Homo-oligomer: A and B are copies of this chain.
Amino acid sequence: MTYCVALRLDRGLVFAADTRTNAGVDNIAQYRKLHFWRQPGDRVVVLLSAGNLAITQSVVSYLNEQLATPDASTPTLFTVPSMYRAARLVGETVREVRRQDGAALEMTKAGFSASFILGGQIGTERPRLFQIYSEGNFIEATDDTPFLQIGEHKYGKPILDRVARPEMRLGEAAKLILLSFDSTLRSNLSVGMPLDILIYERDTLDVRREKRIEQDDEYFRKLSMAWSDALRTAFASIDEFKI
């Protein structure tokens, strides 16, 4: 599995992804699932991926090929005029990979399984965030539910449901995302460290805050311990159940 989550805030976007892939619990490996493209001053596009690694890597390879051999008649991540068009482009690319590999995959138990979170800012448009399905269609995050998750999303959802708000500061949102990861990592072996995190500040049109958080990261370790302590304190502060 995999866990990826992103938040759309008034002040920008925050993205995070783990790096574990597995084909059974006895075959795990480390692969980057957070990718980004930028043209400083013009655009930043970030893509998180979950599902079949062969499919998601093919999608990224196609997107990079389009950029390497541009052709005026075909849009690329550097020429699309809006994030909506970027989501359409990624969706079309997923469909292209399905045309190539879908039939072979559908004959197996694995099937054609892949999902993506795409976010970023192009020009003066506000930052936007999309979730793209394996069918190539997509939804967009709004203020009602400012986060999107793909992969192993259940363990880390209760804290997001309670705390996520569009008005959050970016550092606060990054803390929330890391707590959501902490709950997931504790409960599910298919999600593993290190994590990649990217904080995009609105209107900067560049990637300035991006980090790989390793197993021994000091902040993450403290966060995890402080959260466990805080939860136990919170638990103790509530009256016991009586019948």
- Is A28 interfacial (CB-CB < 8 Å)? no
Return the chain B residue nearest A157 by Cβ: B187
- Is A223 interfacial (CB-CB < 8 Å)? yes
Partner of A174 from the list B161, B162, B231, B241 (CB cut-off 8 Å) is B241
- Is A172 interfacial (CB-CB < 8 Å)? yes
Chain B residues, Cβ within 8 Å of A186: 158, 161-162
A237-B226, A241-B174, A243-B210 in contact; A231/B154 too (CB < 8 A)? no
- Is A230 interfacial (CB-CB < 8 Å)? yes
Number of copies: 2
Chain B residues, Cβ within 8 Å of A187: 154, 157-158, 161
Residues in A229-243 with C-beta less than 8 Å from chain B: 230-235, 237-243
Show 13 A/B contacts (Cβ-Cβ < 8 Å), sorted by A: A155-B157, A155-B158, A159-B231, A174-B241, A179-B238, A211-B243, A219-B239, A219-B241, A219-B242, A223-B238, A227-B238, A230-B234, A234-B234
